[in-house]
């Protein structure tokens, strides 16, 4: 049963302190294009999320082995995925970066193992251009770096040996400047690179314009992430599309979730 949803904005007892904390941290997120909030999940949320990702890797369908999309569709069995989508820290960041009108454009979990990085391409520095507004759709009066961001949850202690995501702080405000792996040699910490251990249950917020890369996981343990992406209305839904029989994909609102959803979740999930 979906029990978390209520029709008010205040869904979590901890929302007010998190809003206050985010107001303090937000200038750093604006400046750097990345913000790591350590150990935000409760032990119960963390355990539920770990169990949810284990389940998804074994049972959820889809074209990818180690990436499973539309996590909110598993709400009956694993309501934690909806809880993370609506987490007050992610929502607070969305309000401050994007304004009041934003929606969910991706909701996935991924597993990165030593032998199989789930998406090898992302080990090269990149921006998440797939989440940029399509040509001609960018809002004229909004800076390009205020259109979308991802909220990525780490589900295990993630030492450098597990290849936590590395970021170039400030690179989201440098226009067309491009970065490659030659700018920061792999496996080393350098000035200008955010590369650090990330504790279990942490939230990594990063602007879709911030250059970043995944590191290699050199350990025996999988590196699991839950990643939800939020964007202004000009950005279309991307990685939560359902394949149709004719080879195309479409966004299909998840009616069982929407039937019980809070106002915020309805805003996030309704078709645009």
Ligand X SMILES: O=C(O)CCC(=O)C(=O)O
Site residues (CB under 6 A) for ligand X? 112, 122, 128, 165, 212, 214, 227
DSSP letter for each residue of 63-83? S-SSEEE-GGGGTTT-THHHH
CA angle 173, 214, 31 (to 5 degrees): 25
C-beta of residue 64 within 8 angstroms of C-beta of residue 189: no
CB of 195 to ligand X, least distance (A): 11
CB 110 to ligand X: min, Å: 7
CB of 255 to ligand X, least distance (A): 28
Nearest approach in angstroms of CB 214 to ligand X is 2
* Straight-line distance from the first to the last Cα atom of the chain, in angstroms, rounded to the nearest whole number: 27
> Cβ(141)–Cβ(99) under 8 Å?
no
Q: How far is the CB of 202 from ligand X (least distance, A)?
A: 13
- Which lies closer to ligand X via its Cβ, residue 4 or residue 169? 169
Q: Cβ closer to ligand X: 202 or 227?
A: 227
CA gyration radius for the chain?
18
Chain position whose Cβ is nearest to ligand X: 214
By the 10 Å C-beta count (0-12 exposed, 13-18 middle, 19+ buried), 173 is classed as middle
Residue 78 half-sphere exposure toward CB, CA atoms < 13 A: 24
As given in the structure block, the two tokens for residue 67 are: 């990436």
- Under the phi-then-psi rule, with left for phi > 0, alpha for psi from -120 to 50, and beta for the rest, what region is 99? left
Considering the complex, state which of residue 19 and residue 161 has its C-beta at the smaller distance from ligand X.
161
Region label for 192, one of left (φ > 0), alpha (ψ between -120 and 50) or beta (otherwise): left
Question: Residue 210 or residue 262: which is nearer to ligand X going by CB?
Answer: 210
Residue 93 Cβ, how far from ligand X at the closest point, in Å? 16
- Closer to ligand X by CB, 80 or 151: give it: 151
255 token code pair: 């009616």
CB of 105 to ligand X, least distance (A): 13
* Tokens at 230, concatenated: 């939020």
Q: What is the Cα–Cα distance from 33 to 27, expressed in whole angstroms?
A: 10
Closest to ligand X by CB, 77 or 178: 178
Our CB check for ligand X shows the closer of 15 and 166 to be 166
């Amino acid at each position: 049963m979906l029990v978390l949803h209520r029709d008010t904005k205040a869904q979590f007892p901890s929302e007010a302190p998190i809003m206050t904390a985010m107001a303090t941290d937000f200038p750093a997120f604006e400046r750097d294009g990345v913000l790591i909030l350590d150990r935000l999940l409760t032990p119960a949320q963390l355990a539920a999320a770990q169990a949810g990702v284990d389940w998804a890797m074994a049972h959820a369908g889809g074209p990818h082995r180690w990436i499973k999309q539309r996590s909110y569709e598993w709400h009956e069995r694993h309501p934690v995925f909806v809880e993370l989508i609506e987490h007050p820290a992610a929502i607070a960041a969305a309000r401050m970066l994007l304004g009041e009108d934003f929606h969910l454009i991706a909701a996935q979990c991924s597993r990165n193992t030593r032998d199989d990085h789930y998406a090898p391409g992302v080990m090269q520095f990149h921006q998440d251009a797939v989440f940029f507004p399509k040509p001609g759709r960018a809002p004229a009066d909004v800076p390009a770096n205020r259109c979308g961001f991802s909220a990525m949850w780490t589900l295990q202690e993630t030492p450098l040996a597990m290849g936590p995501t590395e970021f170039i702080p400030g690179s989201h405000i440098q226009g067309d400047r491009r970065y490659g792996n030659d700018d920061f040699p792999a496996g080393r910490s350098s000035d200008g690179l955010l590369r650090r251990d990330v504790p279990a249950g942490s939230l990594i917020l990063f602007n879709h314009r911030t250059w970043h890369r995944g590191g290699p996981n050199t350990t025996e343990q999988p590196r699991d992430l839950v990643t939800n992406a939020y964007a202004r209305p000009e950005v279309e839904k991307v990685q939560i599309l359902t394949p149709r029989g004719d080879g195309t994909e479409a966004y299909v609102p998840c009616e069982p979730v929407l039937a019980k959803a809070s106002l915020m979740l309805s805003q996030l999930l309704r078709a645009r």
